[in-house]
């Protein structure tokens, strides 16, 4: 079976090796003549970006590059990008890169035509209705990692520099109109980045599957995404040039972001403040918290884990089988067992727990996340104790 296809779910996705060459055509198909390509400074110097810009310019597009996006994107990155967008008279955004560049690009496109401040559009209640939908610029998304799945999402995570908290900015029209998923763009990712982003995709799928509520479509997408991670993440880490593994992981990342429309949970609720305060890699932070949160949720999710274990082909399907697989996967691809492995010898536990319980992802946890519960999980992640 060829891993090349066109999908229209959840948006228009051009999937397959080499399809970055269709970038200019994708821009033209949604009416872009002068797009702003948003990426990070590391990528902007690489051939994948310079070639993409050359493809666009050869096709007659007046493309410019904004590369002032840092890992764990902050609000000033968005403000600078919006200023560049307006000054250049651009008509849309090419969001090009990993999760931070994709989120920043999407939020720049969203804010380009808004008059209210950024935080007025945080994902709280119906705040998204405050936006002028006609001011939202069209977006083409090009992921270069297989993790966040932001390319098929309707939101962007931005860190508020004043409060050091991660905020979710949401609007349905932030969903990119076209996505180019080219696994060739991920072939040179270092093993550590491949591991961290792959575990982010797994966290999305696992938390979506465990989130309470009735959404069988999300559940089905999530469990198949988990299977792809199980089958292909170790190979992608071991051999970055394995195009089959890279393709499968790129699909799994998009599946995770599609599935988590159902919800996320305490893995993300705890990872967000750690990342905002200590600038840790989001996917790797999720990976460290994963078994501790699963153990915390055990009573509520055990039957689901048994079904998942059976689907994954684990011996003696059970909750314990899933935990054992997660621990073995982490060991195999080099995920630290505790937060100390991320360079955190000590943290302000009380502050992190307080931030976690009000994080928008906390509400999707199958066990209500109290401050006491967050402190317990955090302590376990620091000491390596699995309840």
- For residue 346, the model assigns a pLDDT of 80
- Tell me the pLDDT of the chain averaged across its residues: 96
CB 252, CB 225: distance < 8 Å: yes
- DSSP designation for 261: T
Cis peptide before 74 (omega within 30 of 0): no
pLDDT of residue 288: 98
In whole angstroms, what is the distance from residue 57 CA to residue 64 CA? 10
Polymer length of the chain: 387
Task: Give the helix/strand (H/E) hosting 365.
Answer: none
**What whole-number distance in Å separates Cα of residue 362 and Cα of residue 168?**
13
For residue 7, give the 3-state DSSP assignment.
Answer: strand
Adjacent-strand bridge partners of 156: 169
Are 63 and 50 a contacting pair, CB within 8 Å? no
Q: Is the peptide bond before 10 cis (omega within 30 degrees of 0)?
A: yes
Rounded Cα–Cα distance for residues 233 and 225 (Å): 11
What does the pLDDT look like over 207-218, one tens digit per residue? 999 999 999 999
Instruction: Kindly give, in sequence order, each residue whose CB lies less than 8 Å from that of residue 158, ignoring residues fewer than 6 positions away.
Output: 73, 74, 75, 77, 78, 103, 104, 107, 118, 166, 167, 169
pLDDT tens-digit map of 352-376: 999 999 999 999 999 999 999 999 9
Q: Per-residue pLDDT averaged across 152-172, rounded? A: 94
How far, in Å, CA of 364 to CA of 264, rounded? 5
Instruction: Tell me the fold of 191-383.
Output: Dehydroquinate synthase-like, alpha domain (1.20.1090)
pLDDT at 2: 60
| Residue range 274-324, pLDDT digits in tens | 999 999 999 999 999 999 999 999 999 999 999 999 999 999 999 999 999
Confidence of residue 345 (pLDDT cuts 50, 70, 90): confident
Q: Which residues, 6+ apart, have CB-to-CB distance to 160 below 8 Å?
A: 74, 75, 119, 166, 167
65-84 pLDDT, tens digit each:
999 999 889 999 999 999 99
pTM as predicted: 0.94
| pLDDT above 90 (res 27) | yes
pLDDT above 70: percentage of residues in the chain = 99
Write down the residue that tokens 């902007």 correspond to. 44
Q: What is the pLDDT of residue 254?
A: 97
User: Strands 5-7 and 165-170: what pairing?
Assistant: unpaired
Q: In which element (H, E) is residue 168 found?
A: strand 165-170
| Residue 328 burial by Cβ neighbours in a 10 Å radius (0-12, 13-18, 19+) | exposed
CA 302: distance to chain centroid?
26
Q: Look at the domain 5-185 and name its fold.
A: Rossmann fold (3.40.50)
Query: What span, in angstroms and rounded, lies between the C-alpha atoms of 338 and 126?
Result: 38
CB 333 within 8 A of CB 233: yes
d(CA 382, CA 338): 5
pLDDT at 387: 78
Is the C-alpha dihedral spanning 25, 26, 28, 34 positive or negative? negative
**Around Cβ 183, how many Cβ atoms within 10 Å?**
25
Parse the chain into domains and list their residue ranges.
5-185, 191-383
| Structure token digits, residue 351 | 């502050």
> Which tokens hold the place of 144?
């270069």
Query: Does residue 1 register a pLDDT over 90?
Result: no
Tell whether the model's pLDDT for residue 248 goes beyond 50.
yes
Three-state DSSP at 72 gives coil
So what's the pLDDT on residue 7?
A: 85
Q: What is the CA radius of gyration of the chain?
A: 20
Task: Give the mean pLDDT of 33-58.
Answer: 96
Neighbours of 133 (CB within 10 A): 12
Burial environment of residue 194 by CB neighbours within 10 A (0 to 12, 13 to 18, 19 or more): buried
Average pLDDT over residues 200-225: 97
């Amino acid at each position: 079976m060829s891993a090349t296809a066109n999908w229209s779910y959840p948006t228009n996705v051009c999937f397959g090796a080499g399809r970055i060459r269709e970038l200019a055509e994708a821009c033209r198909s949604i009416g872009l003549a002068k797009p702003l390509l948003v990426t990070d400074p590391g990528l902007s110097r690489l051939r994948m970006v310079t070639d993409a810009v050359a493809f666009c310019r050869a096709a007659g597009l007046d493309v410019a590059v904004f590369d002032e996006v840092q890992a764990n994107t902050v609000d000033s990155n968005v403000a600078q990008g919006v200023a560049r967008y307006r000054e250049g008279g651009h008509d849309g955004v090419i969001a090009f890169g990993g999760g931070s560049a994709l989120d920043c690009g999407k939020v720049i496109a969203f804010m380009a035509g808004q008059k209210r401040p950024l935080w007025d559009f945080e994902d709280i209640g119906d705040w998204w209705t405050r936006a002028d939908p006609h001011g939202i610029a069209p977006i083409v998304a090009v992921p270069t990692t297989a993790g966040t799945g932001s390319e098929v999402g309707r939101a962007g995570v931005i860190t508020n520099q004043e409060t050091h908290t991660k905020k979710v900015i949401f609007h349905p029209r932030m969903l990119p109109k076209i996505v180019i998923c080219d696994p060739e763009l991920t072939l040179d990712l270092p093993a550590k980045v491949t591991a961290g982003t792959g575990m982010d995709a797994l966290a999305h799928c696992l938390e979506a599957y465990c989130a309470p509520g009735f959404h069988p479509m999300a559940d089905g997408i999530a469990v198949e995404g988990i299977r792809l991670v199980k089958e292909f993440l170790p190979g992608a880490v071991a051999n970055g040039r394995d195009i089959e593994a890279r393709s499968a992981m790129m699909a799994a990342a998009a599946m995770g972001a599609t599935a988590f429309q159902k919800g996320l949970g305490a893995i993300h609720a705890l990872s967000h403040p750690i990342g905002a305060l200590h600038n840790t890699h989001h996917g790797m932070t999720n990976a460290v918290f994963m078994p501790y949160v699963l153990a915390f949720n055990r009573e509520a999710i055990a039957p689901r884990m048994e079904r998942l274990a059976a689907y994954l082909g684990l011996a003696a399907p059970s909750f314990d089988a899933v935990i054992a697989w997660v621990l073995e996967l982490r060991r195999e691809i080099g995920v630290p067992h505790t937060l100390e492995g991320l360079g955190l010898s000590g943290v302000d536990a009380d502050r992190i727990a307080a931030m976690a319980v009000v994080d928008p992802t906390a509400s999707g946890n199958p066990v209500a996340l109290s401050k006491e519960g967050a402190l317990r999980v955090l302590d376990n992640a620091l000491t390596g104790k699995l309840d």
